[in-house]
Structure 1
Amino acid sequence: MIPVAPELVAEIAVDSAFEHGKWRHPIRLLRLRDDLDPADVALFGEGVRPAAN
C-alpha cells in the first residue's frame, strides 16, 4: 500500500443526516483553503470541533 500525504485543505459543507449507513445529502465543496497548510488541520475525528458560523 502506498501512503498518501495531504497537499490541499478544502472547506466542505455537510449535513449530519446519516441513515441506513449512508449520508442523506451530498457533501458540498465550498472552497480550497490556500491560507491553511494540511499540517495545521486536525485529522478527521481528532482535535476540537470548529465553531459554527
Structure 2
Amino acid sequence: MLVEPELVAEIMVDTALERGAWRHPVRFARLRLDVTVTDVPPFGAGAQPASG
C-alpha cells in the first residue's frame, strides 16, 4: 500500500447521473474522530446498501 490511512472522513455524495457523468461532486462533510481506521472495512468490502 502506498498510503497508510490515519483518519476517517465522512463524505456526501449524490447517486444521480446525467449523460453518464455524476451530476454533483463528492463533498467533504467532517472528520470522524469517533471512528478508527480499523473500524472501516476496505473499499469494496463494506456492507451492501439496502434495496427498497
- TM-score, normalization: structure 1? 0.70
The structural deviation recorded for 1:46 is 1.2
In 2, the alpha carbon distance for the partners of 1:20 and 1:6 equals: 34
Paired residues, number: 50
Q: Which residue in 2 is equivalent to 1:10?
A: 9
Backbone CA RMSD of aligned residues: 2.3
Give the unaligned 5+ runs of structure 2. Answer: none
Match of 2:32 in 1: 33
TM-score (norm. length: structure 2): 0.71
One-letter amino acid of the structure 1 residue matched with residue 44 of structure 2: G
Percent of pairs with identical residues: 58
Unaligned runs of 5+ in 1: none
